[in-house]
């Protein structure tokens, strides 16, 4: 074939193919660039929404109350759409445009979750004051976006006598049990923390002391560093350390003079104050002052936690001790049990007794049968409801919404933390549609204190500086063992965040709650900054660690973490007990037996 003929063949056949391939590759590149922009926009908007929720709840003393919490979430939703619109302004002109591509926002909280999505508005308002409700005929055209009703993490179980009871779960080891147990128990509603009751011994209700797994739990003195506004006119402030206790889930501080001498009222009660709006508001309520006097400003919350948890756990063992995974009622019909269906829940606990807490099933440990089943129940509830909401999402788009497959790593975040999960679907990114989600957790909140979010404060004896560590940090263990560090307390992660006192727009002053005695407070480089703690919290809770220099020589063992365990287990119990529970009432514990 002549060269001219080959050139003609190349022009007629090869050139069009090359142009098509070049166009296809460019479309692929453009799609990847758009997808990356969408991914970043979704993550940033979700992070911003979580940050807004965090700021609102941590600075709102009523944040645990239902109506206030709803307002905080709605403000977070508005933040999400505002930030997402800013990131995708070339593809959407308003938040209404974006809503058709966001089938759901999932807010997981302590004992349940909200889903922000579309719902059928069955009522409208009319009248001069818009106080007259008019029912609307459901025709499929009255959908609007908003928060759906709160869903509790719950499951039903069939007892051996055939009765069905309900257990509400949380993000930790607290549960609520209610239902008709039959016999002398009858209908019961009980709430409490589930622990291994066999570990609680030597209980002394007079001195508020007990032993938990070999660790002495006793009243503790708690101290925080505050900056208070002493004169609003001049903006004069005072920086000092104050003792505090919790009263009805709010901190109460005891005042002292300039020489550090504690102040008392004429009746002998401590002179106490609330810390509101950066100022001291002195407490005149006789009941609160009497409480502070009786406990001598020492926290007994850790004792109360283990004492009440033991009583509750023994009751649960006696009445729910035989329940296994097979007794779980299917949520689809609310009648039949899952029986031998080991695929119904994401975690298969087999024939293990879920609520029979003992050394082999310690609910304080993440590896326990109780905890694995708890996680499976929560995941099942979220998957079922969220999948239905997304599949039924109504908008002007013709896109078929569906819940994406989420990784096990993301499920772990969702099931163990207060978190926000956002979904973005149906937006065009060239030759295909965008479909992705983002998961951002919120560790700094008033909802829950997880086992991983309690840190140990240790003082360096040489420099007098303070460092906060994860309880499994090897630097901390080594420092305690060789005597260079001294433990001064343990607190939740929120206690180590920078606090701000705003005197004016141009005058902000910062402090740290645990920077007491004028000591500098920093995070440990090994476990906080570098995030390489050597032992997880289960190791500390269980108290069984060994570190070998070689096959025969142990550098340190369980005895070396005894002081760390004491501080950690006390703080974990104290902080969980002092959290505000809007749906759990521990005060009713044991009253059924007394009536």
* 3 state SS for 520-546: CEEECHHHHHCCCCCCCHHHHHHCCCE
pLDDT of residue 100: 83
How many whole angstroms separate alpha carbon 467 and alpha carbon 487?
10
pLDDT of residue 19: 64
SS3 (DSSP) at 579 = coil
pLDDT of residue 385: 94
List the structure tokens of 31: 């799609």
Q: Which residues contact 310 (CB under 8 A, 6 or more apart)?
A: 195, 197, 200, 203
Q: Do the beta carbons of residue 484 and residue 451 sit within 8 Å? A: no
> Cα–Cα distances in Å, from 552 out to 324, 481, 535, 549, 559?
42, 19, 21, 8, 18
pLDDT of residue 589: 40
- Among left, alpha and beta (phi > 0; psi -120 to 50; other), residue 182 is left
Q: Which of 413, 441, 449 is nearest to 581 (CA)?
A: 449
Q: Do the beta carbons of residue 194 and residue 357 sit within 8 Å? A: yes
Block residue for tokens 């030597």: 202
Q: Which of 329, 227, 327 is nearest to 277 (CA)?
A: 227
pLDDT digit string (tens) for the chain, length 595 residues? 566 666 666 667 766 676 666 565 656 565 666 778 888 889 999 999 999 888 777 655 544 455 678 888 999 999 999 999 887 766 666 777 788 889 999 999 999 999 998 876 555 555 555 566 555 554 445 567 888 999 999 999 999 999 999 999 999 999 999 999 988 888 999 999 999 999 999 999 999 999 999 999 999 999 999 999 988 888 889 999 999 999 988 899 999 998 999 999 999 999 999 998 889 999 999 999 999 999 999 999 999 999 999 999 999 999 999 999 999 999 988 899 999 999 999 999 999 999 999 999 999 999 999 999 999 999 999 999 999 999 888 654 567 888 889 999 999 999 989 999 999 988 877 777 888 999 999 877 777 889 999 999 999 888 888 999 999 998 999 899 889 999 999 999 988 988 888 888 788 889 999 989 888 889 998 888 877 778 889 999 998 887 766 666 667 778 889 999 999 999 999 999 998 664 444 434 444 444 3
User: In the chain, where are the structural domains located?
Assistant: 222-298, 451-578
List the structure tokens of 593: 């037996």
Strand partners, 487: 458
List the structure tokens of 174: 């607290």
Q: How many CB atoms lie within 10 A of CB 11?
A: 10
Q: Which residues contact 278 (CB under 8 A, 6 or more apart)?
A: 227, 228, 229, 237, 501, 502
pLDDT of residue 530: 79
Q: C-alpha angle with apex 185: 179 to 191, nearest 5 degrees?
A: 55
pLDDT of residue 170: 94
How many whole angstroms separate alpha carbon 240 and alpha carbon 568?
25
How many whole angstroms separate alpha carbon 19 and alpha carbon 565?
69
SS3 (DSSP) at 213 = coil
């Amino acid at each position: 074939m002549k060269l001219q003929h080959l050139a003609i063949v190349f022009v007629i056949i090869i050139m069009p193919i090359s142009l098509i391939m070049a166009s296809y590759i460019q479309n692929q590149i453009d799609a990847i660039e758009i997808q990356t922009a969408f991914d970043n926009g979704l993550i940033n908007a979700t992070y911003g929404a979580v940050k807004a929720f965090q700021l609102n709840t941590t600075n709102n003393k009523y944040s645990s109350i239902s109506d206030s919490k709803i307002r905080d979430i709605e403000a977070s939703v508005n933040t999400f759409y505002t930030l997402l619109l800013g990131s995708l302004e070339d593809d959407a002109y308003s938040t209404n445009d974006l809503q058709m591509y966001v089938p759901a926002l999932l807010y997981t909280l302590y004992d349940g979750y909200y889903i922000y999505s579309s719902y059928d508005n069955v009522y409208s308002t009319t009248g001069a004051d818009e106080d007259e409700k008019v029912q609307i005929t459901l025709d499929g055209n009255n959908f609007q976006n908003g928060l759906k009703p709160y869903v509790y993490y719950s499951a039903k179980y069939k007892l051996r006598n055939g009765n069905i009871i309900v257990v509400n779960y949380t993000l930790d080891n607290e549960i609520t049990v209610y239902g008709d147990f039959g016999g002398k128990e009858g209908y019961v509603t009980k709430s409490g923390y589930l622990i291994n009751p066999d570990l609680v011994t030597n209980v002394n209700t007079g001195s508020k002391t007990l032993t938990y797994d070999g660790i002495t739990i006793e009243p503790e003195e708690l101290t925080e560093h505050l900056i208070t506004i002493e004169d609003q006119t001049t903006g004069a402030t005072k920086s000092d350390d104050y003792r505090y206790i919790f009263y009805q889930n709010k901190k109460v501080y005891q005042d002292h003079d300039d020489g550090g001498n504690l102040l008392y009222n004429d009746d002998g009660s401590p002179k106490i104050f609330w810390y509101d709006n950066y100022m001291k508001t002195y407490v005149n309520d006789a009941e609160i002052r009497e409480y502070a006097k009786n406990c001598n400003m020492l926290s007994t919350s850790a004792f109360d936690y283990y004492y009440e948890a033991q009583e509750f756990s023994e009751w649960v063992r006696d009445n729910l001790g035989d329940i296994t995974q097979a007794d779980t009622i299917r949520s689809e019909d609310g009648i039949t049990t899952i029986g031998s269906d080991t695929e119904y829940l994401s975690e298969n606990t087999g024939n293990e007794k879920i609520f029979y807490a003992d050394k082999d099933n310690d609910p304080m440990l993440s590896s326990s049968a109780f905890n694995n089943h708890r996680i499976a129940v929560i995941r099942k509830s979220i998957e079922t409801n969220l999948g239905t909401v997304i599949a039924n999402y109504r908008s002007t788009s013709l896109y078929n919404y569906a819940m994406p497959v989420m990784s096990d790593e993301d499920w772990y975040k969702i099931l163990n933390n207060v978190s926000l999960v956002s979904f973005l679907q149906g937006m065009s990114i060239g030759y295909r549609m965008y479909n992705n989600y983002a998961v951002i957790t919120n560790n700094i909140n008033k909802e829950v204190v997880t086992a991983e979010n309690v840190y140990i404060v240790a003082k360096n004896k040489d420099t007098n500086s303070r460092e906060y560590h994860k309880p499994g940090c090897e630097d901390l263990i080594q420092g305690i063992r060789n005597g260079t560090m001294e433990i001064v307390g343990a607190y939740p992660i929120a206690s180590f965040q920078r606090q701000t006192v705003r005197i004016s727009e141009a005058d902000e002053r910062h402090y740290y709650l645990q920077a007491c005695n004028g000591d500098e407070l920093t995070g440990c480089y090994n476990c906080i900054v570098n995030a390489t703690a050597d032992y997880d919290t289960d190791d500390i809770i269980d108290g069984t660690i060994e570190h070998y220099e070689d096959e025969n020589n142990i550098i340190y063992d369980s005895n070396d973490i005894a002081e760390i365990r004491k501080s950690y287990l006390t703080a974990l119990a104290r902080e969980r007990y002092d959290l505000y529970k809007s749906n759990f009432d521990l005060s009713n514990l044991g009253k059924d037996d007394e009536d």
